Amino acid sequence: EVPMTGALYLTTFNDELAGYFDIGREILCYGSYAECAEIVVRMLRAPEAAQAVRTAGRVRALRDHTWRRRIADLFDALATG
């Protein structure tokens, strides 16, 4: 939901997200509070980098994570499976 809006998505790391987004390029993840603070400071100091992540995340979400795409993938799986 967050990348779909064009916002910068910063969340705790989990393996499942890595299957849906390119972490570090399309969304940002942290493993500790210190790492979270470091990423926030880095993005505030480099707004062009933050914008690149926001844009890449939105492009990926619109390409791969819409309901239309999910339903099409489901029907494809049912047809082949």
Q: Give, rounded to a whole angstrom, the gap between the first and last alpha carbons of the chain.
A: 29
What is the structure's pLDDT at 53? 98
Residues 6+ away with beta carbon under 8 Å from 5:
58
What is the structure's pLDDT at 9? 97
What is the structure's pLDDT at 7? 96
Stretch 60-76: mean pLDDT: 87
Residue 73's pLDDT band (cuts 50, 70, 90): confident
Q: 16-50: buried (b, 16+ CB within 10 Å) or exposed (e) per residue?
A: eeeeebeeeebbbbbeeeeebeebeeebeeeeeeb
Over residues 12-64, the pLDDT tens digits come to: 999 999 999 999 999 999 999 999 999 999 999 999 999 999 999 999 999 99
